[in-house]
Amino acid sequence: MSANVVAIDGPAGSGKSTVAKAVATELGWSFLDTGAMYRAVTVAAYRYGVDLSDGDAMGLLARTVEIETLPRVAINGDDIEEEIRSAATNVGVSVVAATRKVREALVDRQREWAERQPEGTVVEGRDITTVVFPDARLKVFLTASLEERARRRNEEGEDSIARRDAADASRVVSPLRQAEDAIVIDTTGRSVEDVVKEIVECLKSHTSN
């Protein structure tokens, strides 16, 4: 596995995807949005009639469905970029993300994906620093105020974001938590460029130590 992994975790609306993409561009590395993978599996379950509560069936789906996250999210060649942000997906993804066999399947796929990257990769999600890449070269935990996160995710209100925070933090399998050795960055009121600069400088510092 490539030693060049920047792992970024944080709650919904903290800026993970936007920041991670920009960091990857700045470094000339690849980028993986793991949240989009869970949403893709959720949409696939709806499309193919798989019961979200059937752990075995969902695990099989997560291992076999073809998932693309760039340039747009797709399953089995079908563009689902719009569907992954629907109200139904917002509700269902919390159930899917808490399913052990789904997480096991997608963690395997995420690690396999990273192994194929020739330079390095920036990976974002909710268990990247603690479960998927615990030995990442740099671990970052992004956060922001609830009001700021709700504003960024304008299709969801504060109540919806708060419910997702609670579900992510309390689930038995791979809960959202801050790794002890992660750098914590509050993105409230900060520009993407400013946050990216801080992360890149931290990476250079870690690499030189």
Cβ neighbour number for residue 33 with a 10 Å cutoff:
20
The confidence score (pLDDT) of residue 162 equals 82
The whole-angstrom separation of Cα 6 and Cα 35 is 16
The whole-angstrom separation of Cα 27 and Cα 132 is 21
- For the entire predicted model, the pTM comes to 0.85
Write out pLDDT tens, residues 88-101: 998 999 899 989 99
* CA atoms within 13 Å, Cβ hemisphere of 73: 20
For 52, the 3-state DSSP assignment is coil
On the question of pLDDT at 81 being above 90, the answer is yes
Mean pLDDT on 107-118: 93
Contact 74, 67 (CB under 8 A): yes
Tokens of 208: 């030189």
Q: Using alpha carbons, select from 42, 12, 4, 51 the residue that is nearest to residue 162.
A: 12
The confidence score (pLDDT) of residue 1 equals 47
Q: Using alpha carbons, select from 114, 134, 115 the residue that is nearest to residue 174.
A: 134
Domains observed in the chain: 5-208 (3.40.50.300)
Cβ neighbour number for residue 158 with a 10 Å cutoff:
14
- Amino acid at residue number 196: V
Write out pLDDT tens, residues 6-39: 999 998 889 999 999 999 999 999 999 999 999 9
Residue 75: strand pairing partners: 67, 78
For 106, the 3-state DSSP assignment is helix
Q: Using alpha carbons, select from 9, 26, 17 the residue that is nearest to residue 120.
A: 26
